[in-house]
Amino acid sequence: MYKQRVLAVITARGGSKRVPQKNLIKLGNQSLLERTAKASIGSSIVDRTVLSSDCPRIVKEAVRCGCEVPFIRPPELATDGAMSEDVLMHAVNNLPFFDWVLLLQPSSPFRTSEDIDSAFALAKKLNRNSCVGVTPFQSDTNLNEKYLFNGDVFISNPQKHEFFEKECGEVFILNGAIYLIKTSHFLETKKLVDANTIGIQMSAKKSLDIDTFEDLHLAAKFMEA
């Protein structure tokens, strides 16, 4: 039986502004980058783990963690306005073909190898082209979220919060921890999420996306728990 090959791309630029050099900050004795690299390398479904970065310090840390660095990300893809889809497309176009591609961000340090394996298993089981990590919708979350899920299932054209409660029950939003997609589908659509995407539910801890110093403080509390 043909084993479908999976490429993991860790995206870590050097110019984070809210938390400078965020990807190199340590939780416990491991940097955010190292935690993500270990989750990828330890996954049973990932065949190759590479880094996409413009920063020499991040490149050095990635190599130390066992991650491959086959290219340096061009400056135009390392700006605040650079889209994740464009960064991933650059990686896909500069590497041999893999059946699936997995985008991982170091800002999600509590996502595990098992979570990655589960996302792949869910996509295969339900015959979906892509799977993303999701977390429960909170009342203080922006109601204009672009991507919403009713449990596992993508909600197209969401309306108001009342619609969520009456028609959908519990609603989930993207957490940024896992983006897994068939490479052929990504090359065709140039999107990480579409109506065929399935959501894999993850805990509040695993869904933490570090973007501010407050998020880092919360991460430290999770480490103590």
- CA gap 27, 180 in Å, rounded: 25
pLDDT value, residue 75 = 94
Q: Where do the H-state alpha helices sit in the chain?
A: 32-41, 56-64, 84-93, 113-125, 161-163, 183-189, 213-224
CATH number of 6-224: 3.90.550.10
The pLDDT value given to residue 160? 47
* Residue 54 to residue 9: CA distance in whole angstroms: 14
Burial of 215 from C-beta contacts in 10 A (0-12 / 13-18 / 19+): middle
pLDDT at 139: 63
Whole-number pLDDT of residue 121 = 96
Pair 192, 84: CB distance under 8 Å? yes
Domain boundaries, the chain: 6-224
The pLDDT tens digits for 75-98 are 999 998 999 999 999 999 999 999
Q: Which residues contact 35 (CB under 8 A, 6 or more apart)?
A: 27, 106, 109, 110
Tally the C-alpha atoms within 13 A of residue 153's C-alpha that lie toward its C-beta.
10
Specify the pLDDT at position 161.
46
Query: pLDDT tens digits for 155-180?
Result: 655 554 444 455 556 778 899 999 99
**Ranges of the chain whose pLDDT falls below 70:** 1, 139-146, 151-153, 155-169, 225
Please give the pLDDT value at position 178: 98
What one-character-per-residue DSSP string does 93-117 give? HTS---SEEEEE-TT-TT--HHHHH
> How many angstroms separate the first and last alpha carbons of the chain?
43
Cβ atoms within 10 Å, residue 101: 27
Per-residue confidence (pLDDT) for residue 171, from 0 to 100: 79
